[in-house]
Amino acid sequence: MTIAKLIDKRFHNIPGKLRVAEMFFDVPVDYSKPSEGTIRLFARSVKRLVTPPEPEKDEKQLPWFVYLQGGPGFGCRPPQEYGWIGTVLDKGYQLLFLDQRGTGLSSTITAKTLTLQGNAVKQAEYLRHFRADNIVRDCEALRKFLTADYPDEQKKWSVIGQSFGGFCAVTYLSKHPEGLREVFTTGGLPPLVDEPDPVYKLTYEKVQQRNKAYYAKYPEDAERVKEILKYLEVNDVPLPSGRLTARRFQQLGIMFGMHGGLDSIHDIVLRAHSDLTFFGFLTRPTLSVIDSYGSFDSSVLYAILHEAIYCQGRASNWSADRLISDFPPFRIDDEAPQVFFTGEMIYKDMFESYDELKKMKDVADILATYDDWPALYDEEQLAKNEVPVYSATYVDDMYVHFDLARSTASRIKETKQFITNTMYHDGLRSKSDELMRELFSLKEDSID
């Protein structure tokens, strides 16, 4: 049975000789109760533009290659912004870019749209349907619709998951392997854990390493950072999205795990310190740059569900907030030689310093106490997996720890890994040609 309903479909040609279809679908909020409400999903399909164009009814039934975005909480960018799509199209696929439920144009979650669900308790119950398990159910609903007239042997599709998209891909392998031809992941092998504490303990250690690399490269920033934090602790500094607190400035360290991340944060520190030195306050251009690095107001799911993506039958109980006291270098201390930036962690104070998140504080507290999250992974199924998996794993990944990713790879049958210490977590964007070449080499080359 096809459960996805196509609401609208429009074709466009875009530069680069691409034929794009923009599609809206309705699918159930809760697949166990399909008659009790729907959400709207948005997806773009991409294929090579044929000249002259083929009539829609005569279009070739090319195999599908589905991109699952990182996050949680981020929608897809326009397809022409992905540098790797030419490689995939040249391999004979057509692409599907899906805005995961609650992101992009797929029934976007904001503080205001959540109020349509009722009080904080009802909002939290609604948000329970926005993790990887239901993202995968959405994928299956769309696959059955889009391949309805395909021959049976061509109905399976390929998936590539970046970061959290890879987490979704492993849930896909666990729950609906029958829909998959092959899986690619880039920095996206999830830790097979029941709650986030073991993840954040390793993450804090990795973030400390990146801070050491930062201060080794820019030793002059040690005093600059402390002066900026001291200023922010005693001054109320408004931002377009809320308030710039000392803790929020520390959170800029989330960029340390990206290509060029150390340099980006140095530029901000240099600019902010220069402002304080010459003017005694932070100027509008500096505040605009800082505000642009915080996307939590426009991608609230990232903050409100980030710890829940690790939960299976356990509560998160604000894991990152609880564990930070075990790592003294992150303490704001004027006597310390250096104060470390934090990384990909979500803290309670974010629900005070971001205006949009502030409206969702009660919902976040409720979600943090849930201890009955359903399982996301089936380790027994993964151990007998027959779907080929090609995974790029980064030794110096600050967001998906190498040791945890390597452990997961060893527990998924039919997995081949490209392991590198020459790329960071955003390798798919920063070194797309090289990375895609390596992934397809895993697929096309044989060691026997």
Q: What does the mean pLDDT of the chain come to?
A: 95
pLDDT of the residue at 96: 98
DSSP type of residue 84: T
Please count the residues of the chain: 448
Check pLDDT > 70 for residue 442: yes
Cβ(127)–Cβ(109) below 8 Å: yes
DSSP type of residue 108: -
pLDDT of the residue at 229: 98
DSSP string covering 216-274: HH-TTHHHHHHHHHHHHHHS--EETTEE--HHHHHGGGGGGGSTTHHHHHHHHHHHHHH
What crossing angle do the helices spanning 221-234 and 261-278 adopt, rounded to 10°? 60
pLDDT of the residue at 56: 59
Percent share of the chain, pLDDT over 70? 97
Give the phi and the psi of residue 244 in degrees, each rounded to 5: -95, 100
Check pLDDT > 90 for residue 446: no
**pLDDT tens track for 75-108:** 999 999 999 999 999 999 999 999 999 999 999 9
Omega before residue 177 within 30° of 0, cis: no
Taking residues 359-379, report their average pLDDT. 98
**pLDDT tens track for 171-220:** 999 999 999 999 999 999 999 999 999 999 999 999 999 999 999 999 99
CA nearest to 70, candidates 425, 430, 338, 408: 425
Q: Which long-range contacts (CB under 8 A, 24 or more apart) does 216-223 make?
A: 217/262, 217/266, 218/262, 218/266, 218/269, 221/266, 221/269, 221/270, 222/337, 222/338
**pLDDT tens track for 414-431:** 999 999 999 999 999 999
DSSP type of residue 354: B
**pLDDT tens track for 218-242:** 999 999 999 999 999 999 999 999 9
pLDDT of the residue at 363: 98
pLDDT of the residue at 54: 62
Check pLDDT > 60 for residue 57: no
Q: Phi-psi category of 142—alpha, beta or left, where left has phi over 0 and alpha has psi -120 to 50? A: alpha
Q: Which domains does the chain have, with CATH numbers?
A: 5-192+377-444 (3.40.50.1820), 196-369 (no CATH)
- CA distances (Å), origin 43, targets 48, 56, 442: 17, 18, 28
Consecutive H or E run containing 13: strand 5-14
Taking residues 305-333, report their average pLDDT. 97
Identify the band that residue 52 occupies on the pLDDT scale cut at 50, 70 and 90. low
Angle at the Cα of 61 (from 154 to 26), degrees rounded to 5? 85
Q: Which residues of 266-303 are buried (b: 16+ CB within 10 A; e: fewer)?
A: bebbebbbebbeeeeebeeebbeebbeebbbbebbbbb
Omega before residue 52 within 30° of 0, cis: yes
Identify the band that residue 295 occupies on the pLDDT scale cut at 50, 70 and 90. confident
Maximum alpha-carbon separation in the chain: 71
End-to-end CA gap in the chain? 41
Instruction: Between 279 and 55, name the one with better pLDDT.
Output: 279
Check pLDDT > 90 for residue 394: yes
Taking residues 11-37, report their average pLDDT. 93
CA nearest to 296, candidates 326, 254, 259: 254
DSSP type of residue 340: -
State the catalytic residues.
163, 397, 425
Check pLDDT > 90 for residue 142: yes
Taking residues 140-165, report their average pLDDT. 96
CA nearest to 230, candidates 291, 268, 265, 280: 280
Check pLDDT > 70 for residue 448: no
Give dist(CA 180, CA 414) in Å, integer: 13
Taking residues 336-346, report their average pLDDT. 96
pLDDT of the residue at 157: 97
Identify the band that residue 15 occupies on the pLDDT scale cut at 50, 70 and 90. confident
Check pLDDT > 70 for residue 53: no
CA nearest to 114, candidates 127, 100, 95: 127
- CA-based R_g, the chain, Å: 22
**pLDDT tens track for 113-135:** 999 999 999 999 999 999 999 99
Identify the band that residue 304 occupies on the pLDDT scale cut at 50, 70 and 90. very high
Cβ(15)–Cβ(86) below 8 Å: no
